[in-house]
A = this chain, B = another copy of it.
Amino acid sequence: MRGALVVVDMLEDSLGEGRSSAITPHGRAIVPCVNELGHWARGRGWPVVFACDSFLPGDFIFRGKLKPCSLRGTPGAEPYAGLERRPDDLVVPKRRFSAFFKTDLDQTLRSWQVDTAIVCGISTPVCVLATALDAVSHDLRAVIVADATAAASPEAHAAVLGLYRDTPLFPLLRVMTARELREEAT
């Protein structure tokens, strides 16, 4: 296995000081686990990718309940300050849910000989899941890290993990804890 850690939407606008949406506490709670995974991945020479919502004002995505946020070029669209970052990490601005949607991430991971996308971040039912499914669509194995992902409600988070633990895509798509992942990859 050669993995890449893909940290999805752990952004200032969701997790930063003063923010208080439903997902904020749950997203902050996984920061230590995400940082540990990043440390572990870099130690193995595996890339760390921050995939970050990068919307435009007036974007279609804001025609529903979602209030304008994560606007391209604003500080709110930057990775959360509590995340450990290194100069070699890659930041991939994304227009929609999946880190692969209209980005070159598939090509980047292939050129780095990555065969497994290790997906963490928020939110489990939308951007995390869309990224994991798209990873498999791009012929990469995908791991959703159970304790390094979060949703606006713990029930929704648990429901998603339950749904994708055992599908016809197993083991191309897997749900694992950070510990299970580290033990297997050793």
* Chain A positions near chain B (C-beta within 8 angstroms): 56, 58-61, 63-66, 95-98, 101-104, 107-108, 110-111, 125-126, 129-130, 133-134, 136-139, 156, 159-160, 162-164, 167-173
Q: Which chain B residues lie closer than 8 Å to A133 at the CB level?
A: 97-98, 126, 130
Taking the closest CB of chain B, its distance from the CB of A98, in whole angstroms, is 7
Residue of B nearest to A101 (CB): B137
Question: Given that A156-B163, A159-B159 are known contacts, is A172 also in contact with B139, CB under 8 Å in the complex?
Answer: no
B159 touches A60 (CB 8 A): no
Closest to A58 in B: B111
Whether A126 touches B169, Cβ cut-off 8 Å, given contacts A159-B163, A163-B159, is yes
Would you call A137 and B97 a contact (CB within 8 A)? Answer: yes
